[in-house]
Structure 1
Amino acid sequence: MPPQPPDTLPVSPDYRNRRIDLLRGVAILLVLFHHFCIAYPLGHSALGTLLTPDGVRAVARNGNYGVTLFFVISGFLITSTTLARWGSLAAMQARAFYAFRIARIVPCLLLLLTAVNVLALAGVPIFATHIPGLSPLAAMMRANLASLTLSMNVFIAHYGWANYALGVLWSLSVEEVFYLTFPLVALTFRRQSLIVAFWALIALIGPFYRMTHQGDEAGFLFAFPASFDGIAIGCMAAVLATRWRLEGLPARLLQPVVLLGMVTLYLWCSIGQTNIWGVSAMALGAAVLLVASAHHENGRLATRSRLLRGVEWTGRLSYELYLFHLIILGLLRTFFPPASVPQSGFARLMLLAVFFLGSCQLASLISRYFSEPLNRALRKQLHATGKEARPLPGSEPPLSCK
């Protein structure tokens, strides 16, 4: 007799799914490589015979697909955590839900704003905000306001990349605005089938919105309707994973096919040409991998290789890495201006190594000594005030999707 589908995913407060961390690690490494190559394009002689310039461009140009993966993973984890904590979407406590999001998101956000403002006030030009007609201080205050009100993508649409280091907050704006409505949708529709139908509608709107905004990068990449479909697909995948196990031979056959399709789409051509249905296809591929990983026994993955363990480690740090890597890259650009670093030789490869190692070290320190302690303290305080939902027999997946 086949096993019955689970009612909830096997999650609890200290739980981490290593396969999900691995997927998240791949996503953040693609984003980092994308941003580095924008600043320091890698020439042929710097790469030797390992990768041609065309190969580098194929890997580097589509870093935004890494953000798509983050959106799907985030939707999957938030929904699976909600189901595990409260038993159903309709039973969630909105106040506790928002408190958990604040505990995870806000400390790092405030630290990033503090660092960027201090560097700008210290006279480091790359961290200043540049808006025509506004003084540097007024421009910085406007960028801070956009960051704190989850509207950085709107800010970018109006002013472009006016602040180098804060530009990454466009995706946090998209994600958190989606989650502002998450409890409202669940508590309004209440029936899981209606909630999933609403998410399906959001997922369908995405490609058609992108279709009508071709030629406008802020429209087809950064706008709320252009990005919500990835999160909605992740949410639906989490619900599906509670009812259906994708494992055994079907999973072993399907996952390589899905991975091959995702890699082919990523390398085929620029996201500017493939975004209409490409974002949805990448999100659906990630959803299949997440459903297949939901009930996977984690121990075997960690023993495969040091490389996989390293990628998995970056996945665990992905939120801190995403927010703070442009601090490291901005400092590198300040001390080693791209025009002064020849594309030939190994100078740029050395800078790439410094960038990756410096970003990982900074993210690790922030996670260990700042964000995770504050996250635990804030959640402990929430539990002490009696606002937390019933305790779970285990743990929850980490809520950091970037």
Structure 2
Amino acid sequence: MRHYKIDVLRGVAIILVLLHHFNIPYKLQDTWLGISVLGEPLSTLVARNGNYGVTLFFVISGFLITQHTLNREGALSRINIRNFYVRRIARIVPCLVLLVLMVTLLGCFGLQPFLNQAPTGIHVSYSLTIFAALTFWMNLLIIEYGWVNYALGVLWSLSVEEVFYLAFPILCLILGKSKLFILFLISVIAYAPYFRSLHAGEESGAYLYHYFSSFDGIAIGCLTALLAQKISIRFIYIKPAIFSLVALMMALYGYVPIKEVSTWSISVFALLSAALIFCCVQQQQVQNLAIFHRVFAWIGERSYEMYLFHLIVLGLIKVMYVPKTTLPDQKIMLLVTFLMVTFILSWLIEKYYSSPLNQKIRQKWMVKKPQMD
């Protein structure tokens, strides 16, 4: 069963990512969104730290994977490895393959955003880029050679998640019966800030893109699911806690560029995200949702499709409207167009492609539990 508040959080996370990526080519500070707030343009405060949205995604992913495993199997040590991997393949691979095919096709037309670039002066073949995308080390390729392909670069975070999840069921089987699994997660969380400190501010982006820079968010999500199974809080404390956590997350989000404080800020943001998720799942589902919740929950349900395909939309916009010559009024129009086209495209892909394939793959390859008489 889906939890609408988790989908709302996903919706917020993907909007932050979309605004961040749009603001990179089309700087919004010369539009009405550039109004000064606390000495900074509002557009800068909202858009510059969109990478925290990815951190929120990591925490949510770790939480849901662990919670679903516990709900299905009763204990991590009883995880069904085959079914776990089939679920991951069914959700991840169809959209991944479609993205690669679309980028390849658009690149065949010579459109610049879909061709490989050489930001560090070293050319990387397109075949190697595709291989990195399909084998989950796009993040390492970016660290070594820069953002070599505009539309495929988003796969760095998918690389982080899937490498973690390749190991997850094996770790559950080996360590799930003892406290060693928890100790493993804590060690991953503790190591991440140290690793980021070794690469702080590097142009390679290793402080953001590397596995060990991001595993802590997923591990924090896993621990949160284990905690939520054991502990609950009284209803009267939930709303004040949620308000306080959101305020702290907003303050950290707008504080300074993530590059300047990544050593500690990513872990802190992940911890605040985990606490917020913990509070959200304490409440019962609400039947009559406010329009804000309905909209962001709808967006959140399709956030994976939006994340993978939004740079295709933005890349095509860049082909038609060169960022350097785009006027301020045009930028607002393009921002609205970018969001709406991304929403529509993602809805179409989810409804007619990824969800049907997801179901078919699961039905064909998952092992069903025997029915008890």
Structure 1 Cα separation of the partners of residues 269 and 34 of structure 2: 31
Q: Which moved more, 1:256-265 or 1:212-221?
A: 212-221
Matches within 5 A, 1:5-154: 15-47=1-33, 54-131=41-118, 132=121, 134=123, 139-154=125-140
- SS of residue paired to 1:321: helix
Query: Are the equivalent residues in 2 in contact too, given 1:46–1:348 (CA < 8 A)?
Result: no
Query: Are the equivalent residues in 2 in contact too, given 1:170–1:222 (CA < 8 A)?
Result: yes
- SS of residue paired to 1:252: helix
Structure 2 Cα separation of the partners of residues 354 and 144 of structure 1: 29
2:236 equivalent among 240, 249, 254: 249
CA displacement at 1:390 relative to structure 2: 6.5
- Rate the CA distance shift 1:160–1:351 in 2: closer, same or farther, 3 A: same
RMSD: 1.7
Look up the match of 1:330. Answer: 315
Q: Which amino acid aligns with 1:320?
A: E
Q: Which moved more, 1:179-188 or 1:68-77?
A: 179-188
Look up the match of 2:149. Answer: 163
Query: Are the equivalent residues in 1 in contact too, given 2:10–2:300 (CA < 8 A)?
Result: yes
Q: Deviations over 1:232-280 (max 9, x none)?
A: 0000000111111134122222221111111100001110122111111
Q: Which has the higher contact order (CA 8 A, sep 6+)?
A: 1
Structure 1 Cα separation of the partners of residues 162 and 259 of structure 2: 25
Gaps of 5+ in 2: none
Corresponding position: 1:176 with 2:162: yes
2:264 equivalent among 273, 277, 280: 277
Query: Are the equivalent residues in 1 in contact too, given 2:206–2:213 (CA < 8 A)?
Result: yes
Look up the match of 1:380. Answer: 363
CA displacement at 1:133 relative to structure 2: 5.8
- SS of residue paired to 1:299: coil
Matches within 5 A, 1:202-351: 202-216=188-202, 217-300=204-287, 302-304=288-290, 306-343=291-328, 346-351=329-334
CA displacement at 1:48 relative to structure 2: 7.4
Structure 2 Cα separation of the partners of residues 236 and 347 of structure 1: 45
TM-score norm. by structure 2 comes to 0.94
Structure 2 Cα separation of the partners of residues 108 and 92 of structure 1: 25
Gaps of 5+ in 1: 1-14, 392-402
TM-score norm. by structure 1 comes to 0.88
Structure 2 Cα separation of the partners of residues 192 and 316 of structure 1: 34
Q: Which moved more, 1:39-48 or 1:270-279?
A: 39-48
Q: State the aligned residue count.
A: 367
Look up the match of 1:10. Answer: none
Q: Which moved more, 1:70-79 or 1:374-383?
A: 374-383
